[in-house]
Amino acid sequence: MIAETPKAPYYAVIFSSTRTSGDNSYNETASLMEELAKKQKGFLGVESARNEIGITVSYWESLEDIQHWKQQVDHAKARAKGESEWYQQFKVRICKVERDYGFEK
Amino acid sequence: MIAETPKAPYYAVIFSSTRTSGDNSYNETASLMEELAKKQKGFLGVESARNEIGITVSYWESLEDIQHWKQQVDHAKARAKGESEWYQQFKVRICKVERDYGFEK
């Protein structure tokens, strides 16, 4: 669902990807990585959707927290497998969320 | 597909939403708005995916370009209809993309 993030500023990692064919344990690892991300220092939330491309946005308190998550051992292993097996193409964008607003019925 | 954005910094608008039930001309308007966005000053690209939630990220040269697109007349009408008909909930996050990197097979 839509992440309940705190008052800006905070940080976002936009991960946009296209997959190779076949599952190759992708979905299992993606779920594990999401659970692991939630346990990291500074994690604020995550949103994810996929059709032709996949977009996963994770939200963090600081750039240091993002760097720490990138270097987490199991995540680093999964990232290596992402390049060798799961992704045809991806782009990672590190962002500062400067302001936000929302609407709810 | 994944947007081919220029060297950072640039700006991103992350639009995360959940839909009400029924199409109510949503898909037609969404396509029109994407075509219209592409014609705006400062537009750099857009990425979109939807399952349980929808995530659309548009990329822009500057905050002024984002503000200008928000106020564009047809877009403002569509946004009003978004609140009255199409969205159960949404969140808009205005971000500065500080750095990015990618991978392609």
A91 touches chain B (CB under 8 A): yes
CB within 8 Å: A104 and B97: no
CATH number for the domain including A33?
3.30.70.100
How confident is the model at residue A74, as a pLDDT? Answer: 96
Range of the domain at A86: 10-97
| The total number of structural domains that make up chain A | 1
Tokens 């392609």 locate to: B104
**Do the Cβ atoms of A55 and A15 come closer than 8 Å?**
yes
Does residue A61 sit within a domain? yes
Q: What is the pLDDT of residues A35-86, one digit of tens each?
A: 999 999 999 999 999 999 999 999 999 999 999 999 999 999 999 999 999 9
**Do the Cβ atoms of B77 and B6 come closer than 8 Å?**
no
How confident is the model at residue A82, as a pLDDT? Answer: 95
Q: What is the pLDDT of residues B29-74, one digit of tens each?
A: 999 999 999 999 999 999 999 999 999 999 999 999 999 999 999 9
Q: Hey, which bits of chain B come out as E strands?
A: 10-19, 43-50, 54-60, 87-104
Q: What is the pLDDT of residues B12-22, one digit of tens each?
A: 999 999 999 99
Residue A30 CB partners (closer than 8 Å, separation 6+): none
Taking CB atoms and an 8 Å cutoff, what residues of chain B touch A92?
100-102
ipTM: 0.96
Quote the distance between the C-alpha of residue A63 and its chain's center: 14
Q: How far apart are CA B36 and CA B31, in angstroms?
A: 9
Beta bridge partners of A45: A59
Question: Is this prediction's pTM over 0.95?
Answer: yes
Does residue B55 sit within a domain? yes
How confident is the model at residue A24, as a pLDDT? Answer: 92
